[in-house]
Amino acid sequence: MTTAPVELNRPDVGEEVRPDLPWLTIVWNDPINLMSYVTYVFQSVFGFAREKAEKLMMDVHHKGRAVVDSGTREEMERNVEVLHSYGLWATVKRDD
């Protein structure tokens, strides 16, 4: 953490710095998809390491749903479309 004035220290804001992105990809728990399969899909679709994918899968399993990604609305719709192609129950949601 820095205490220096923000104006002086703020880096050049380029294309890669993204402002608050208010859209989320949610995956819902369902009784049919296998835990191994959901983990595998998270790895394939998002490029997560096995451990991170498993943790997210357990979040979905125990909490009923979990946020798996955030970004623009278009990006989240693309995610959901891909997750639907794997048969996961996913939705787009505006962050609140």
Partner 1 sequence: MSGFRRSGASGVTLRLEQVENAVLQNLVEQLQQMLGELPKGDPGLAELGISESTEAPADPALARLFPDGYSGDDDASGEFRRYTETTLKDGKEKDARVVLDTLAFDRRIELDADQAQSWLRALNDLRLALGTRLEITEENHARFAELAVDDPAYAMFVTYDWLTQLQDSLIHCLWRE
Please give the residue ranges that form the binding site for partner 1 (CB under 8 A). Answer: 26, 28, 31-34, 36-37, 40, 50, 77, 80-81, 84-87, 89-93
Tracing tokens 């608050």 back to the chain, one arrives at 20
Task: Identify which of residues 31 and 47 has a Cβ nearer to partner 1 in the complex.
Answer: 31
Query: Do the beta carbons of residue 56 and residue 49 sit within 8 Å?
Result: no
β partners of residue 93: 24
The nearest distance, CB 90 to partner 1, in angstroms, is 8
Task: Identify which of residues 21 and 54 has a Cβ nearer to partner 1 in the complex.
Answer: 54
Task: Identify which of residues 10 and 74 has a Cβ nearer to partner 1 in the complex.
Answer: 74
The nearest distance, CB 62 to partner 1, in angstroms, is 11
